[in-house]
Every structure is written in structure tokens, then in C-alpha cells.
Amino acid sequence: MATSISSNSCPRITMLVVCTILIGSSMVALAGNFYQDFDVTFGDGRVKVLDNGQLVALSLDKTSGSGFKSKNQYLYGRFDMQIKLVPGNSAGTVTTFYLHSDGSTWDEVDLEFLGNLSGDPYILHTNLYSQGKGNREQQFYLWFDPTADFHTYSVLWNPSHIVYYVDGTPIREFKNLEAAGIAYPKSQPMTLYSTLWDAEDWATRGGLVKTDWLQAPFTASFRGFNVSACVWSNGASSCPSSSAAAAAKYPWFSQQLDAAGQQRMKSVQQKYMIYDYCQDTKRFPQGLPLECTLRTK
């Protein structure tokens, strides 16, 4: 999961969505049955599977949080999860939906929802690691109450870029800039994880607001997991080795943000982004990361 950043260097976040399910013989297409698609990672009895595997509730108390992960690993794809976040006073809690590879130089695509006091907005904290290098945080306020109902959070990951979506609206893009010497996630298969855990030392106002354990257990709910992706198994991808063939069969493989999508993303960032590492000159006194300069060109 993403490392924290101080309250001085960052405020908060939100993200993603996209829900097209493409079905092909060499590509997995899941409709979100927990028993078939996921394994519990921690939490003992704090993971509740309901509605014949269609709904999962994660809970957090003072002893432990809880989580699950996908049975499969993926190398490129589109991933959607409907989440209803912890209601009420959720300060100190973090609910996550993220992709993560193994190893010491891992790749990772993060969506972390930072809880807050009742009546204050959640922060969607996003980050991205490539070859073990992160520090690429962007944070957003959500433009709706994420505890009142389920909303869809999505990641598109293909050879050209990674895009975060919230209810179908793109909120962040990380382009493949390998030609400029910037590592891009392209060779390490990633597993999908969801967790609910306590991070009162940093999650809410930089750790100033602690978890109120009198409110425990805290509960977040997950449903509607859909994936259209290349499954990685026994050292090989289920998708065609040719990029042209993969794109011909699976449009997401070459999908780009069109002008309308770029404008929607820009609008969200102007209205709801509260932290962008590419604007934090105090954090990077020797100069902003190279991709910050390149993404404006």
C-alpha cells in the first residue's frame, strides 16, 4: 500500500471508474464472485461474504483490520470495484483498492480512501510505483458522499498509460515515458488487493485526528468486481504476444483518453484535486520529477 506523506506536503484524494467488460477466450472476464475470484489475506472472521459471494464486508476493530486479494495475477487490464466506504466518524481508517506486484522493486497502482470526522469529506489518495519508485501522490476530494451508496472505482492499465476513474470519469493519468528514462509498469504481473486498516498515525490530517475506537467495528463493503485483463500464469500472459493482435481483440489494450476525456479529467483536477506532487516544489527542492515536466508538454 502507498506510503504516507506529511500533512504539510499533501491533503487528500479521489478516483476512478470504467466498466466495459470484454469477453474473449484468452482473456479473463469476471463478474465478481468472491469464492471464485478472491482469497482472504488477513482479518480472521472480519471478512464477511454475503449474497452468495456477490458482496464482501471488511471490518476493522482495535485488534485487526481485514483484506482480500485476487486469485489471479494480471499484466495489463481494466479493473472495476464498487465500494461503499465506512460511514460516520471514519477518522484514522483507510480503505484501499490497489494493484501490487511482488519483489523489492515492485510496481503498484493505489487508490486509498482516507477516513475523516463525521461531516468532513473523504480524501482519495492515489499513488503509483514503478520499479520500486513511488512518491507520486495526488489527492482529491470526492464530489459525492461515498458512504451513502456504492460507487465504481476503476483502473485502466495498458502499455501506453495508466488511468484512474471514479464513476466513469477519469481523474488521473500516468503515461508511459520510458523513452525519457522513466520506468513504467510493463513486465511485473500485479495482484489486486482490497483492505480496511488503521492508519491513525497519518491518515487523517497528518495524524492529528486519531481513530475513535468507540465507533468500532468500522465496516466497508465491496461488490461488482469486474476485470477485463491479461492473466499471468506460469510465466506467460493469456493475451496475444503481438500488441496489434491484443489491441484488435481487446480495445482497452490500446485505449487512449480522447479530447473529451482529457477535458473531463482536467475539470475534476481543477475542482477537486487538493494535492499534486508535481506542484510541491518544497518537497522536491532539487527540481520536480521529470514526468512532471513532460506531462505538461
Total residues belonging to the chain:
297
On the 0-12 / 13-18 / 19+ scale of CB atoms within 10 A, 208 is exposed
Neighbour count for residue 38 (Cβ, 10 Å) = 25
**CA–CA gap between residue 265 and residue 164 (Å, rounded):** 10
Other beta carbons within 10 angstroms of residue 164's beta carbon come to: 29
Grid cell, residue 73, equals 495475477
Residue partners of 252: CB distance under 8 A and separation at least 6: 20, 22, 77, 78, 156, 158, 228
Residue 18 contacts residue 78 (beta carbons within 8 Å): yes
Residues with active-site annotation:
108, 112
